[in-house]
Each structure stands twice: as structure tokens, then as C-alpha cells.
A and B are shown apart, each in its own frame.
Chain A
């Protein structure tokens, strides 16, 4: 029976790891109608995956020019954009507050503040230490501006949806899918097979050539969707690259330690019948 239990232990560990690896895929949303979710090969997947910096940079542009008219990034500050592992990290500026890109992006937003002299409320250009500002003054205003729907915060949106990056990407590109006859749309609702129930309050946000990329990449709907998803994936898990790099060292260290301990064990128990 000892051997049996040992096999069970090993088998159990293998099953556990395998299950975890497939879980992310298994959890991928199904969608309605005939729409088939496209599983993209994301640059940040896998044990050594990192964010595609160019895509994430373009993704920020899409966020700024398109998404930001309704969606906030409330858990992010501008300085995060220049952190290590972030889309605009520059090794010449280890302090992201000095990073010229970050400073420019921050200054591009208008931040509500209080005049220190008079106490009047004023608007000033953002600085890297500022958080991304709210788009609407309150929830009621957000709903009123969007036909009753509340545009969700996008800071952790990729982590907050089953299917993760694939879900967000497909949601953005699936507006063209053919609507099944049994789904009735009231004004202000659009058909999107990726949403539960197939209905969404967000009008199709992307159209070809909606933004003009500085690097000359053709701005197709698919390209913009993939880019902004890359950016939002970073926003959801900004320390992914550090984590994987540390993880590799940790796994290596533990493996070597395990080997050493195995031989210590063999040595200590050498003359012991057990």
C-alpha cells in the first residue's frame, strides 16, 4: 500500500499543476449565438512571457483617445506608466516621475485641484504623481451619459473577467457577429455575443483608422483591440514581469535545494532500515 500512496501523492501533484495550467482556458467565457471566441497568442502568456511594449504603448494611445471618454483607470497613477515592466519604462529614468513620456501624458490630462491661496477649485495639468482622474463627476452622471449603463473601471478589467485578455479582445471585435433572432434589443443596447445574454450598453467603440499610430501600424479594429487589451492586461497585472523573473530564480533555488536535501536524506538514512 505504501507504493500506492506514494503514487497517489505524485499523481496528485501532477494533476494539481496540470489542472491549474488549464484552468485559465477552461474558464474562458462561451458567449451566445454562433460566435466562436478567438484565442489569441498573447505575448505575456507562458512562463517567460513579457508584455509587448510596442503594443502596450499603442494600447495606451487607444485608451487615451477612445476608451477614456467613458472609462476610468482609478487604481493607476500616471507614474505607473513609467515603472519597471510598464509600457513607457525607460532605464534612463529609474524614477518614473522624471520620465518625459510620463510627464507629457500626465500633462495631457486636466486635474481638479484647489488653489492654495484662495481655496478656489481650479483645473491644472496633471503631474506623474496624480491618479488617473474620474471621467464623470458621479455614478448617476455616468449612467445618464450612457443610456443607464455604468462604464466599468478598467484598472483590473482583464483579471476581473473569466477568459481574461481573450474576453476583452473578443468583446471589442465581436460587434459584427450576426444577431440571433431571439435576442431583442431596446434602444441604447447593442448586440455583442461575448456578453452574458448578448446585450451591451457600449456602442461599438472601434472602427478602422479611428486612431493614427505614430509607428505606422495600420489601425484596424483587430489591431486596436489587441493593442488596448495588451495595455489593459499590463494595467491588471503590472508586476507580471518582475513576478516571473523572480519566480524563475525561486524555482531554480528550490529545485537545487530539493536535490541537496534529497542527497542529505539518502546520506543520513544510509544505514537505517526503514
Chain B
């Protein structure tokens, strides 16, 4: 699996026998001794955290599927039954629902980490693209899963999202009907959403395998972005990173447990405790928090199709990022200017999330009033315009700032090796 020379020596007759036929123990042993850069910080623990979350989602999900009924007349009730009558259902159900939020929280940190340290640059383009693919399928899985409890937000969220496909020119309407299995979100939709929601996590698991394979083939990036040169630059994955990842995982589990046990509904929406009603539209249809930035991009333009293209573009641009960033320097540690633009980018991602949660015509702030058509209207910045500014920066960051900056920015001096950087850092007293 990995490029480093195997040090595994089978000790016993059965393991020797197996090693010649299927070197699966060797693969595991090589995985555990994989030479990792010695300077990985806590931002590099999120890969392990995400693997843990995927396992947790699959296990809790399979148990839920044993009790859940994908039928429009019974779905809502079956979730209630899980929470009231199924042994430990009161624990499994919120673990799965909160787990989805935690999964996205961790994946966003993981992606920002990759952006900051230039983990997408050669030779890690394929590693990055597989990651983007995982994220895309995660979004689909999250959306499909949110439909299953068949609450008001489930139903209307599904109606709005599948409505996007109706905006595709010429084939839109047929495409939408094909996806829904009918003219509107109904039993056929719920059934196929359930089937796909069960399928996609295993596709993700397969892609995670490829992601780790690619990672071990090209080697891990690290906070200084300098490829490891000697054995001194690296440490065996076990015990060094198993213990560090393990510590980080437990800290993350504390946050996870806090939500599951004390605020299980904080990340959801009250309307989803109302059973789906096709005749009653909720006053505000809001997606789950992890989709809010994209929802804001979607609503930033008045045209539906343009909004959808813009939202898709916001994800597609991530796939081609390795070829947009022209800088040869990976880590933002040595790119003082790019670093500032990066933090502005993070800031605007939060702004987009805020815009997605608010009503577009509401005001962010007002500066006095103005007479419009005989009515006094507040003047200032509304959320539509704020989301336009943020959307502009989102795209400008990838399509203009990163390409241009790579050519004009003068990076700081970089250390020759990880070992040198480690000792240099020590000298300046900045541990870790």
C-alpha cells in the first residue's frame, strides 16, 4: 500500500503462511509504522477524527435502519418510536443526528487545514481531489439523511433542493420528476432517498480508502510544507501519532458528547418535530447549518439557474484548486501575504453562513431612512448584498488572488528540512 520499505517480519508459522498468500498483516503493520513527518500539529488530527466519525455514523445508522420505516405515513412515528421505545434508541438517534453536524464540523476544519498548509499542491492533487469528492458525497448523504425523519424541514428542504434540478434548461422538469419518482416529494422519493442514504456512506468509506492510499503513496504534507528528506525528519505513525490522534479524538468526543447529551436539538430545527405536511409551507425554510454558506451563494443572485451554477461552481472550484494556486511554496507559514487573504477567506465563509441563516431582505445594519414609493425604508446593508460581497470574495480568492499572488508574492526563507525547522522553532521558544 505504501511506498516505504516493509519492516514486518512474520514470527509464527501461521503468520508466515498467511504472509505468503495474503500479506494483510504486513499491510496493517506497515500502516502502523508509516513514517510521518515529526512536526505534525493538532490540525493534522482531524483525518483520524473523521475516520472515527464515519465509523460512528455507519454503526449508529445501521442500527437506526433496523427500526426506521421509510414510508410517508410511518417515518415520523418510527423515529419517535426509536426515541421512546427502542432500547438505547434515545442515545443512538441523537448520536446519528448530532454526528452528522460533527462530521461536517470536522471536515471543514480538515479542509481549511489543507488550504492553509497547501496540502493540495503537487504531488498531492489526486489526494485533494478524492477529498473533494468525499465532501461532495457527504453533502449528498447529509441532505438525503435529513429527509428521512419526515418532519416539516425534511419535506420542504427536499422540495426546495430537488426544485433546483427543475431549473436546468430543457430537461429540467423531466430530470426533477425522475429524481423524485413523481411530480412531488412523496413516498417514492422517501424510499429512494433512504436507499441512497444507506448506500453512499459505503461509497465514502471506499473513497476514504483511496484517500489514505494516495496519502501514503505521496507522503503526508506538514505545517512547513517541506518534503521529508531523511529518516530523522519522520516518526513512526505508532506510537507517536496514534497517541496524539487518540488524545485529539477524545477531546473531540467531549464536544460531541456535550451536544448529544445536553443539547441534542441545538443544531437542528424545531420545525422538524412537526410531521411533514405538503399543504403547509413553513415560514422560513432553512437548510442545516453546514449548508448555509452554499445556500447564501445560491440566493446571492436573483436568477435561479445562475444561483445554482454559482453554488455548483463554489464546489467545482475546489477540485481545480491545485492548478489555480500558482505558488511553489506550500505552507502559508512562509507566505505572509497569502496568509492574510486566507484568514479573510475564512471570515467570509462564516459571513456566508450567517447570510444563509437570515432573511435576504433583512438589514445587517441601517444608516438612516429613505423615502421609496411613498414609504420610509431603512437604508444600509441588507443580507442579499452582504452575501454578494462574500460570494465575490469566495470566488476572487480562488480565481484571482491565489493565481496572481503565487506570481507576485515574495515568500519568506524556508528551512532546509523538517529537522532544522524543528530545532529552529525550539530556539524561538514556539513549541509544538
Instruction: Spell out A's residues near B (CB within 8 Å).
Output: 1-3, 5-6, 9, 13, 16-17, 20-21, 23-24, 27, 47, 74-76, 80, 152-153, 155-156, 159-162, 164, 196, 236, 238-239, 242-244, 246-248, 250-251, 254-255, 257-258, 261-262, 264-265, 268-269, 272-274
Contact = CB atoms under 8 A, between A and B. Distances in A.
A112 to B, nearest CB: 19
B83 A239 contact: yes
Interface string B262-285: 111111001101110000000100
Given A3-B430, A6-B432, A258-B251, A75 B243 contact: no
B359 interface: no
A13 B255 contact: yes
Contacts of B299: none
22 contacts: A20-B266, A24-B266, A27-B270, A75-B80, A75-B84, A155-B80, A159-B270, A159-B273, A247-B261, A250-B257, A250-B261, A251-B261, A254-B250, A262-B247, A264-B243, A264-B247, A265-B243, A265-B244, A265-B246, A268-B240, A269-B240, A273-B422
Interface residues of B, number: 54
Most interface-central of A2, A236, A246 (chain B CB within 10 A)? A2
Top-6 shortest CB links A-B: A247-B261, A160-B273, A239-B90, A261-B247, A75-B80, A20-B266
The A interface is mostly helix, strand or loop, or mixed, namely: helix
Contact of B273 (A16, A156, A246): A156
Contacts of A272: 38, 235, 240
A206 B239 CA distance: 66
Contacts of B270: 27, 159-162, 164
Contacts, number: 126
Given A16-B255, A75-B77, A254-B253, A244 B273 contact: no
A37 to B, nearest CB: 15
A274 B432 CA distance: 6
B104 to A, nearest CB: 12
A264 B274 CA distance: 48
A251 to B, nearest CB: 6
B115 to A, nearest CB: 12
Given A1-B333, A16-B255, A239 B266 contact: no
B427 to A, nearest CB: 11
Nearest to B418: A274
Interface stretch (B39-47, B49-57, B159-167): B39-47
A1 B117 CA distance: 11
Interface in B331-389: 332-333, 339
Nearest to A76: B84
Interface string B395-429: 00000000000000000000000000011011000
A21 B267 CA distance: 11
B47 to A, nearest CB: 15
B149 to A, nearest CB: 11
B353 to A, nearest CB: 12
Contact of B250 (A20, A160, A258): A258
A53 B392 CA distance: 56
A128 to B, nearest CB: 13
B105 to A, nearest CB: 8
B205 interface: no
B430 A2 contact: yes
Contact of B84 (A23, A238, A258): A238
B254 to A, nearest CB: 5
B422 to A, nearest CB: 5
Contact of A1 (B235, B262, B266, B332): B332
B247 A80 contact: no
B304 to A, nearest CB: 27
B140 interface: no
A2 B273 contact: no
B319 interface: no
A176 to B, nearest CB: 26
B202 interface: no
B18 to A, nearest CB: 30
Nearest to B265: A159
A21 B266 CA distance: 8
Interface string B320-333: 00000000000011
B72 to A, nearest CB: 15
B223 interface: yes
A20 B261 contact: no
B254 A254 contact: yes
Contacts of B39: 274
A261 B254 CA distance: 14
B43 A246 contact: no
Nearest to A5: B43
Contacts of A246: 91, 261
Most interface-central of B38, B42, B247 (chain A CB within 10 A)? B247
A156 B339 contact: no
Contacts of A159: 265, 270, 273
B146 interface: no
Contacts of A262: 247
B250 A257 contact: yes
Given A20-B267, A268-B243, A5 B261 contact: no
A261 B91 contact: no
B210 to A, nearest CB: 28
B258 interface: yes
A243 B240 contact: no
B42 to A, nearest CB: 6
B80 A6 contact: no
Contacts of B333: 1
A3 to B, nearest CB: 6
B127 interface: no
Contact of B262 (A27, A74, A247, A268): A247
Contact of A261 (B243, B266, B275): B243
A251 B254 contact: yes
Contacts of B273: 156, 159-160, 236
B311 interface: no
A24 B423 CA distance: 48
Nearest to B423: A273
Contacts of A9: 42-43
B259 interface: yes
Contact of B263 (A21, A161, A162, A265): A21
B144 interface: no
Given A239-B83, A254-B257, 16 more contacts: A1-B333, A5-B43, A21-B266, A75-B81, A152-B274, A153-B275, A159-B265, A243-B91, A243-B261, A248-B261, A250-B261, A251-B254, A268-B239, A272-B38, A272-B235, A274-B38
